[in-house]
Amino acid sequence: MAALTPEYCQKRVPQLLSAINNANAQIPQIRADMAALGFGTAAQLKLVTKMFVFVRVAGDLSPIVLGVTADFVKCTDSALAKLDVGQLKGVVRALHAHAELVIAGIPETASDQTDEQKKLLAAFTPWLAALNDIITQFPTASADTLMTMLKDAKKKVNTGSPVVLTLLVQVFGKELLEAIANGAIEDPLDRKTLIKKLAEKVLISALGKATAGKVVPYLDSALVGWELLVELAGNSAIKDVQEYVNLLLMMLIMVMKKCGWGWPQNPGKDPDGNQYDGFFVKGEKYKGAMVVASAFIRCGKLVDGKPVFSPRCPVTFTTGKATVEATLTDEIRVKGKWTVVAAIDMKSVQSSPCITGANFCYAYLELSFTLADGTKTSINLISGAQTFP
Protein backbone atom coordinates (compact mmCIF):
# COMPACT_ATOMS: atom_id res chain seq x y z
CA MET A 1 0.00 0.00 0.00
CA ALA A 2 1.43 3.36 -1.02
CA ALA A 3 1.99 6.24 1.40
CA LEU A 4 -1.33 7.75 2.38
CA THR A 5 -2.02 11.48 2.28
CA PRO A 6 -3.74 13.29 5.18
CA GLU A 7 -6.73 13.91 2.91
CA TYR A 8 -6.97 10.21 2.10
CA CYS A 9 -6.72 9.26 5.78
CA GLN A 10 -9.43 11.73 6.76
CA LYS A 11 -11.73 10.17 4.16
CA ARG A 12 -10.95 6.46 4.32
CA VAL A 13 -10.44 5.75 8.02
CA PRO A 14 -13.96 6.97 8.95
CA GLN A 15 -15.41 4.99 6.04
CA LEU A 16 -13.65 1.81 7.14
CA LEU A 17 -14.62 2.43 10.76
CA SER A 18 -18.24 2.87 9.70
CA ALA A 19 -18.15 -0.28 7.58
CA ILE A 20 -16.68 -2.33 10.42
CA ASN A 21 -19.05 -0.95 13.04
CA ASN A 22 -22.00 -1.62 10.74
CA ALA A 23 -20.77 -5.12 10.04
CA ASN A 24 -20.31 -5.91 13.73
CA ALA A 25 -23.60 -4.35 14.78
CA GLN A 26 -25.93 -5.21 11.91
CA ILE A 27 -24.73 -7.93 9.58
CA PRO A 28 -25.20 -10.97 11.87
CA GLN A 29 -28.88 -10.20 12.48
CA ILE A 30 -29.54 -9.11 8.92
CA ARG A 31 -27.88 -12.26 7.61
CA ALA A 32 -30.10 -14.32 9.89
CA ASP A 33 -33.15 -12.46 8.60
CA MET A 34 -32.06 -13.07 5.02
CA ALA A 35 -31.39 -16.75 5.65
CA ALA A 36 -34.89 -17.08 7.06
CA LEU A 37 -36.19 -15.62 3.80
CA GLY A 38 -34.33 -18.26 1.80
CA PHE A 39 -31.15 -16.32 1.05
CA GLY A 40 -28.19 -18.53 1.89
CA THR A 41 -24.62 -17.21 2.01
CA ALA A 42 -24.09 -17.72 -1.73
CA ALA A 43 -27.22 -15.76 -2.60
CA GLN A 44 -26.29 -12.98 -0.18
CA LEU A 45 -22.84 -12.62 -1.71
CA LYS A 46 -24.28 -12.74 -5.20
CA LEU A 47 -26.57 -9.82 -4.39
CA VAL A 48 -23.72 -7.79 -2.91
CA THR A 49 -21.43 -8.41 -5.87
CA LYS A 50 -24.12 -7.66 -8.47
CA MET A 51 -25.14 -4.51 -6.61
CA PHE A 52 -21.50 -3.45 -6.38
CA VAL A 53 -20.91 -4.07 -10.09
CA PHE A 54 -24.04 -2.16 -11.12
CA VAL A 55 -23.26 0.85 -8.92
CA ARG A 56 -19.65 0.90 -10.14
CA VAL A 57 -20.46 0.49 -13.85
CA ALA A 58 -23.41 2.90 -13.94
CA GLY A 59 -21.68 5.33 -11.61
CA ASP A 60 -18.67 5.48 -13.93
CA LEU A 61 -20.84 6.82 -16.76
CA SER A 62 -20.68 10.57 -17.24
CA PRO A 63 -23.83 12.66 -16.66
CA ILE A 64 -24.14 13.09 -20.44
CA VAL A 65 -24.08 9.32 -21.05
CA LEU A 66 -26.50 8.71 -18.18
CA GLY A 67 -28.86 11.27 -19.70
CA VAL A 68 -28.72 9.52 -23.08
CA THR A 69 -29.36 6.18 -21.36
CA ALA A 70 -32.41 7.68 -19.68
CA ASP A 71 -33.69 8.93 -23.04
CA PHE A 72 -33.07 5.51 -24.62
CA VAL A 73 -35.01 3.53 -22.00
CA LYS A 74 -37.89 5.98 -22.47
CA CYS A 75 -37.87 5.01 -26.17
CA THR A 76 -36.00 7.99 -27.60
CA ASP A 77 -33.66 5.73 -29.56
CA SER A 78 -32.22 8.59 -31.60
CA ALA A 79 -30.40 9.83 -28.48
CA LEU A 80 -27.85 7.03 -28.90
CA ALA A 81 -26.42 8.85 -31.93
CA LYS A 82 -24.87 11.38 -29.52
CA LEU A 83 -22.45 8.74 -28.18
CA ASP A 84 -19.20 7.35 -29.55
CA VAL A 85 -18.39 3.64 -29.56
CA GLY A 86 -16.72 3.70 -26.13
CA GLN A 87 -19.67 5.47 -24.54
CA LEU A 88 -22.11 3.03 -26.16
CA LYS A 89 -20.17 0.13 -24.66
CA GLY A 90 -20.56 1.80 -21.27
CA VAL A 91 -24.32 1.98 -21.75
CA VAL A 92 -24.48 -1.71 -22.66
CA ARG A 93 -22.39 -2.67 -19.63
CA ALA A 94 -24.66 -0.66 -17.33
CA LEU A 95 -27.81 -2.24 -18.79
CA HIS A 96 -26.18 -5.66 -18.48
CA ALA A 97 -25.25 -5.06 -14.81
CA HIS A 98 -28.81 -3.86 -14.14
CA ALA A 99 -30.27 -7.06 -15.62
CA GLU A 100 -27.90 -9.24 -13.58
CA LEU A 101 -28.90 -7.37 -10.40
CA VAL A 102 -32.59 -7.98 -11.05
CA ILE A 103 -32.05 -11.69 -11.70
CA ALA A 104 -29.84 -12.00 -8.59
CA GLY A 105 -32.81 -10.86 -6.51
CA ILE A 106 -35.02 -13.69 -7.75
CA PRO A 107 -34.84 -17.10 -5.98
CA GLU A 108 -33.25 -19.75 -8.19
CA THR A 109 -35.81 -22.42 -7.28
CA ALA A 110 -39.11 -21.99 -9.15
CA SER A 111 -41.16 -23.11 -6.15
CA ASP A 112 -39.70 -20.22 -4.13
CA GLN A 113 -40.62 -17.63 -6.76
CA THR A 114 -43.75 -15.50 -6.64
CA ASP A 115 -45.83 -15.00 -9.78
CA GLU A 116 -44.35 -11.52 -10.19
CA GLN A 117 -40.83 -12.86 -9.88
CA LYS A 118 -41.54 -15.51 -12.53
CA LYS A 119 -42.69 -12.75 -14.88
CA LEU A 120 -39.55 -10.76 -14.17
CA LEU A 121 -37.33 -13.76 -14.81
CA ALA A 122 -39.16 -14.56 -18.06
CA ALA A 123 -38.65 -10.98 -19.26
CA PHE A 124 -35.09 -10.37 -18.08
CA THR A 125 -33.55 -13.69 -19.17
CA PRO A 126 -33.83 -12.99 -22.94
CA TRP A 127 -32.90 -9.34 -22.35
CA LEU A 128 -29.71 -10.40 -20.55
CA ALA A 129 -28.95 -12.90 -23.33
CA ALA A 130 -29.34 -10.15 -25.95
CA LEU A 131 -26.98 -7.88 -24.02
CA ASN A 132 -24.47 -10.72 -23.76
CA ASP A 133 -24.62 -11.09 -27.54
CA ILE A 134 -23.89 -7.38 -27.97
CA ILE A 135 -20.92 -7.59 -25.58
CA THR A 136 -19.40 -10.41 -27.64
CA GLN A 137 -19.31 -7.98 -30.59
CA PHE A 138 -17.37 -5.31 -28.66
CA PRO A 139 -13.91 -6.08 -30.15
CA THR A 140 -14.93 -5.28 -33.74
CA ALA A 141 -18.31 -3.51 -33.61
CA SER A 142 -18.70 0.05 -34.82
CA ALA A 143 -20.92 2.61 -33.12
CA ASP A 144 -23.59 2.08 -35.77
CA THR A 145 -23.55 -1.69 -35.22
CA LEU A 146 -23.88 -1.31 -31.44
CA MET A 147 -26.76 1.16 -31.82
CA THR A 148 -28.62 -1.15 -34.19
CA MET A 149 -28.17 -4.21 -31.96
CA LEU A 150 -29.22 -2.29 -28.85
CA LYS A 151 -32.33 -0.85 -30.50
CA ASP A 152 -33.33 -4.29 -31.83
CA ALA A 153 -32.80 -5.93 -28.44
CA LYS A 154 -34.93 -3.33 -26.67
CA LYS A 155 -37.68 -3.57 -29.29
CA LYS A 156 -37.91 -7.34 -28.91
CA VAL A 157 -37.98 -7.33 -25.12
CA ASN A 158 -40.50 -4.48 -24.99
CA THR A 159 -42.78 -6.32 -27.42
CA GLY A 160 -42.80 -9.34 -25.14
CA SER A 161 -43.24 -7.47 -21.86
CA PRO A 162 -42.79 -3.84 -20.79
CA VAL A 163 -41.52 -4.86 -17.37
CA VAL A 164 -37.85 -4.57 -18.38
CA LEU A 165 -38.23 -0.93 -19.39
CA THR A 166 -40.37 -0.27 -16.33
CA LEU A 167 -37.52 -1.35 -14.04
CA LEU A 168 -34.94 0.48 -16.12
CA VAL A 169 -36.89 3.72 -15.79
CA GLN A 170 -36.78 3.27 -12.01
CA VAL A 171 -33.05 3.95 -12.24
CA PHE A 172 -32.68 5.92 -15.46
CA GLY A 173 -35.70 8.14 -14.93
CA LYS A 174 -36.98 11.42 -13.54
CA GLU A 175 -34.85 11.58 -10.38
CA LEU A 176 -31.65 10.91 -12.31
CA LEU A 177 -32.51 13.47 -15.00
CA GLU A 178 -33.27 16.12 -12.36
CA ALA A 179 -29.91 15.44 -10.70
CA ILE A 180 -28.16 15.83 -14.05
CA ALA A 181 -30.01 19.08 -14.82
CA ASN A 182 -29.14 20.49 -11.39
CA GLY A 183 -25.45 19.55 -11.71
CA ALA A 184 -25.79 17.43 -8.59
CA ILE A 185 -23.88 14.38 -9.84
CA GLU A 186 -20.81 15.85 -11.53
CA ASP A 187 -18.67 14.15 -8.88
CA PRO A 188 -18.35 10.34 -9.42
CA LEU A 189 -19.00 9.65 -5.73
CA ASP A 190 -22.26 11.61 -5.87
CA ARG A 191 -23.27 9.66 -8.99
CA LYS A 192 -22.63 6.32 -7.33
CA THR A 193 -24.52 7.36 -4.21
CA LEU A 194 -27.57 8.28 -6.29
CA ILE A 195 -27.31 5.14 -8.45
CA LYS A 196 -27.23 2.98 -5.31
CA LYS A 197 -30.32 4.72 -3.97
CA LEU A 198 -32.17 4.22 -7.27
CA ALA A 199 -30.99 0.61 -7.55
CA GLU A 200 -32.66 -0.16 -4.23
CA LYS A 201 -35.98 0.51 -6.01
CA VAL A 202 -35.06 -2.22 -8.48
CA LEU A 203 -34.50 -4.66 -5.64
CA ILE A 204 -37.87 -3.80 -4.14
CA SER A 205 -39.45 -4.76 -7.47
CA ALA A 206 -37.39 -7.94 -7.78
CA LEU A 207 -37.57 -9.09 -4.17
CA GLY A 208 -40.92 -7.74 -3.08
CA LYS A 209 -41.26 -4.94 -0.52
CA ALA A 210 -41.20 -7.12 2.61
CA THR A 211 -38.11 -9.07 1.59
CA ALA A 212 -36.33 -5.96 0.30
CA GLY A 213 -36.86 -4.40 3.72
CA LYS A 214 -34.58 -7.08 5.13
CA VAL A 215 -32.10 -7.24 2.26
CA VAL A 216 -31.45 -3.55 1.50
CA PRO A 217 -30.05 -2.77 4.99
CA TYR A 218 -27.59 -5.64 4.52
CA LEU A 219 -26.47 -4.17 1.20
CA ASP A 220 -26.14 -0.72 2.77
CA SER A 221 -23.82 -2.20 5.40
CA ALA A 222 -21.83 -4.33 3.00
CA LEU A 223 -21.50 -2.18 -0.10
CA VAL A 224 -19.23 0.58 1.22
CA GLY A 225 -16.84 -1.96 2.68
CA TRP A 226 -16.94 -4.01 -0.51
CA GLU A 227 -15.91 -1.00 -2.59
CA LEU A 228 -13.10 -0.21 -0.16
CA LEU A 229 -11.79 -3.76 -0.35
CA VAL A 230 -11.68 -3.61 -4.13
CA GLU A 231 -9.84 -0.28 -3.96
CA LEU A 232 -7.40 -1.19 -1.20
CA ALA A 233 -6.87 -4.89 -1.75
CA GLY A 234 -7.94 -5.42 -5.36
CA ASN A 235 -10.21 -8.22 -4.16
CA SER A 236 -13.89 -8.67 -4.96
CA ALA A 237 -13.83 -12.48 -5.28
CA ILE A 238 -14.78 -13.11 -1.66
CA LYS A 239 -16.22 -16.50 -0.79
CA ASP A 240 -18.20 -15.79 2.38
CA VAL A 241 -19.34 -12.94 4.56
CA GLN A 242 -16.95 -13.76 7.42
CA GLU A 243 -14.07 -13.47 4.97
CA TYR A 244 -15.47 -10.09 3.93
CA VAL A 245 -15.55 -8.85 7.53
CA ASN A 246 -12.06 -10.20 8.27
CA LEU A 247 -10.61 -8.52 5.18
CA LEU A 248 -12.26 -5.26 6.18
CA LEU A 249 -10.72 -5.53 9.64
CA MET A 250 -7.25 -6.26 8.28
CA MET A 251 -7.44 -3.37 5.80
CA LEU A 252 -8.70 -1.07 8.55
CA ILE A 253 -5.72 -1.95 10.74
CA MET A 254 -3.25 -1.42 7.90
CA VAL A 255 -4.77 1.93 6.90
CA MET A 256 -4.99 3.17 10.50
CA LYS A 257 -1.37 2.19 11.10
CA LYS A 258 -0.19 3.95 7.92
CA CYS A 259 -2.28 6.98 8.81
CA GLY A 260 -0.48 7.30 12.15
CA TRP A 261 -3.16 6.12 14.55
CA GLY A 262 -1.95 5.40 18.05
CA TRP A 263 -1.93 2.11 19.91
CA PRO A 264 -4.01 1.13 21.79
CA GLN A 265 -5.74 4.49 21.42
CA ASN A 266 -5.58 7.44 19.08
CA PRO A 267 -5.71 10.58 21.23
CA GLY A 268 -8.77 12.76 20.84
CA LYS A 269 -9.27 16.42 21.59
CA ASP A 270 -11.79 17.80 24.04
CA PRO A 271 -13.89 20.89 23.19
CA ASP A 272 -11.09 23.12 24.56
CA GLY A 273 -8.47 21.53 22.29
CA ASN A 274 -6.76 19.41 24.96
CA GLN A 275 -5.67 15.87 24.08
CA TYR A 276 -7.17 12.98 26.00
CA ASP A 277 -7.63 9.21 25.74
CA GLY A 278 -11.28 8.24 25.83
CA PHE A 279 -14.43 9.06 23.89
CA PHE A 280 -17.06 11.71 23.43
CA VAL A 281 -20.83 11.44 23.15
CA LYS A 282 -23.21 13.88 21.48
CA GLY A 283 -26.92 13.90 20.76
CA GLU A 284 -29.93 14.84 22.85
CA LYS A 285 -31.06 11.23 23.24
CA TYR A 286 -28.02 10.59 25.48
CA LYS A 287 -28.83 13.41 27.92
CA GLY A 288 -29.07 11.91 31.40
CA ALA A 289 -27.80 8.52 30.23
CA MET A 290 -25.52 6.24 32.22
CA VAL A 291 -22.60 4.90 30.14
CA VAL A 292 -20.30 2.03 31.06
CA ALA A 293 -17.14 1.62 28.95
CA SER A 294 -15.20 -1.64 28.69
CA ALA A 295 -12.00 -2.11 26.69
CA PHE A 296 -10.95 -5.01 24.46
CA ILE A 297 -8.33 -5.94 21.93
CA ARG A 298 -8.81 -8.40 19.08
CA CYS A 299 -5.93 -9.82 17.09
CA GLY A 300 -5.41 -11.91 14.00
CA LYS A 301 -2.85 -13.56 11.80
CA LEU A 302 -2.58 -14.69 8.21
CA VAL A 303 -3.47 -18.32 7.55
CA ASP A 304 -2.97 -19.46 3.95
CA GLY A 305 -2.89 -15.81 2.95
CA LYS A 306 -6.20 -14.96 4.60
CA PRO A 307 -6.78 -13.06 7.86
CA VAL A 308 -8.14 -15.09 10.76
CA PHE A 309 -9.10 -13.31 13.99
CA SER A 310 -9.14 -14.73 17.50
CA PRO A 311 -11.85 -14.01 20.09
CA ARG A 312 -11.51 -10.67 21.86
CA CYS A 313 -9.45 -10.22 25.05
CA PRO A 314 -10.52 -7.80 27.80
CA VAL A 315 -7.98 -5.19 28.94
CA THR A 316 -8.09 -2.67 31.76
CA PHE A 317 -7.93 1.10 32.05
CA THR A 318 -5.14 3.10 33.68
CA THR A 319 -7.33 3.30 36.78
CA GLY A 320 -6.73 -0.44 37.19
CA LYS A 321 -10.42 -1.13 36.68
CA ALA A 322 -12.18 -3.08 33.94
CA THR A 323 -14.79 -0.36 33.36
CA VAL A 324 -15.23 3.39 33.31
CA GLU A 325 -18.64 4.77 34.24
CA ALA A 326 -20.15 8.21 33.72
CA THR A 327 -23.53 9.90 33.87
CA LEU A 328 -24.08 12.30 30.98
CA THR A 329 -25.46 15.36 32.76
CA ASP A 330 -25.61 18.99 31.63
CA GLU A 331 -22.96 19.85 34.24
CA ILE A 332 -20.26 17.95 32.31
CA ARG A 333 -21.51 18.81 28.83
CA VAL A 334 -19.23 21.22 26.97
CA LYS A 335 -20.07 22.70 23.56
CA GLY A 336 -22.70 20.04 22.95
CA LYS A 337 -20.46 17.07 23.82
CA TRP A 338 -19.82 14.86 26.80
CA THR A 339 -16.11 14.01 26.97
CA VAL A 340 -15.26 10.90 28.99
CA VAL A 341 -11.68 9.99 29.89
CA ALA A 342 -11.14 6.24 29.46
CA ALA A 343 -7.44 5.57 28.95
CA ILE A 344 -6.53 1.96 28.16
CA ASP A 345 -3.58 0.62 30.20
CA MET A 346 -0.71 -0.33 27.86
CA LYS A 347 0.67 -2.91 30.30
CA SER A 348 -2.59 -4.84 30.26
CA VAL A 349 -2.48 -4.79 26.46
CA GLN A 350 1.11 -5.99 26.28
CA SER A 351 0.42 -8.87 28.68
CA SER A 352 -2.77 -9.95 26.91
CA PRO A 353 -2.78 -13.50 25.48
CA CYS A 354 -4.30 -12.09 22.28
CA ILE A 355 -0.94 -10.52 21.36
CA THR A 356 0.93 -13.84 21.23
CA GLY A 357 1.69 -14.82 17.62
CA ALA A 358 -0.48 -12.05 16.20
CA ASN A 359 0.28 -10.20 12.95
CA PHE A 360 -2.21 -7.39 13.58
CA CYS A 361 -4.53 -6.14 16.32
CA TYR A 362 -7.15 -3.50 16.93
CA ALA A 363 -8.45 -2.09 20.20
CA TYR A 364 -11.97 -0.90 20.87
CA LEU A 365 -14.24 0.44 23.57
CA GLU A 366 -17.60 -1.19 24.14
CA LEU A 367 -19.99 1.50 25.36
CA SER A 368 -23.15 0.31 27.08
CA PHE A 369 -25.78 3.01 27.57
CA THR A 370 -28.83 3.09 29.80
CA LEU A 371 -30.81 6.05 28.50
CA ALA A 372 -32.90 8.32 30.72
CA ASP A 373 -36.07 6.46 29.72
CA GLY A 374 -34.54 3.10 30.67
CA THR A 375 -33.77 2.01 27.10
CA LYS A 376 -30.48 0.14 26.72
CA THR A 377 -28.16 0.36 23.72
CA SER A 378 -24.50 -0.27 22.97
CA ILE A 379 -21.83 1.00 20.58
CA ASN A 380 -18.36 -0.32 19.71
CA LEU A 381 -15.71 2.34 19.01
CA ILE A 382 -12.47 1.15 17.42
CA SER A 383 -9.75 3.20 19.09
CA GLY A 384 -6.37 2.04 17.78
CA ALA A 385 -4.46 -0.41 15.61
CA GLN A 386 -1.10 -2.16 15.53
CA THR A 387 0.82 -4.50 13.26
CA PHE A 388 3.58 -6.93 14.21
CA PRO A 389 6.42 -8.50 12.18
Tens digit of each residue's pLDDT (9 = 90 or more) over 240-273: 556 666 777 787 788 888 888 889 998 888 778 8
Same domain for 169 and 196, yes or no, is yes
CA distance 306 to 309: 10
The pLDDT of residue 202 is: 81
Overall domain count for the chain: 2
Same domain for 22 and 166, yes or no, is yes
pLDDT in tens, 3-25: 567 777 777 677 666 666 555 55
The 3-state DSSP class for residue 95 equals helix
Same domain for 225 and 283, yes or no, is no
- Is the Cβ–Cβ distance between 244 and 374 less than 8 Å? no
Same domain for 243 and 333, yes or no, is no
Cβ neighbours of residue 335 closer than 8 Å, sequence gap 6 or more = 271
The pLDDT of residue 235 is: 46
Whether 257 is in a domain gets the answer no
Whether 361 is in a domain gets the answer yes
Q: Which residues of the chain have pLDDT under 70?
A: 1-4, 12, 15-45, 48, 160, 211-245
The pLDDT of residue 313 is: 96
Strand ranges of the sheet holding 278-282, from the earlier edge strand across to the other edge? 278-282, 337-341, 333-334
Same domain for 235 and 283, yes or no, is no
- Is the Cβ–Cβ distance between 157 and 130 less than 8 Å? yes
Same domain for 135 and 27, yes or no, is yes
- Is the Cβ–Cβ distance between 277 and 342 less than 8 Å? yes
| Full domain range(s) for residue 365 | 268-387
Whether 302 is in a domain gets the answer yes
Q: Which of 255, 254, 276, 274 is nearest to 265 (CA)?
A: 276
Same domain for 208 and 291, yes or no, is no
The pLDDT of residue 231 is: 44
The pLDDT of residue 239 is: 54
Whether 255 is in a domain gets the answer no
Whether 260 is in a domain gets the answer no
CA distance 369 to 366: 10
Whether 263 is in a domain gets the answer no
**End residue of a domain, out of 219, 250, 281:** 250
Same domain for 112 and 230, yes or no, is yes
Same domain for 129 and 169, yes or no, is yes
The pLDDT of residue 36 is: 60
The pLDDT of residue 104 is: 86
The pLDDT of residue 188 is: 77
Same domain for 110 and 19, yes or no, is yes
Same domain for 28 and 121, yes or no, is yes
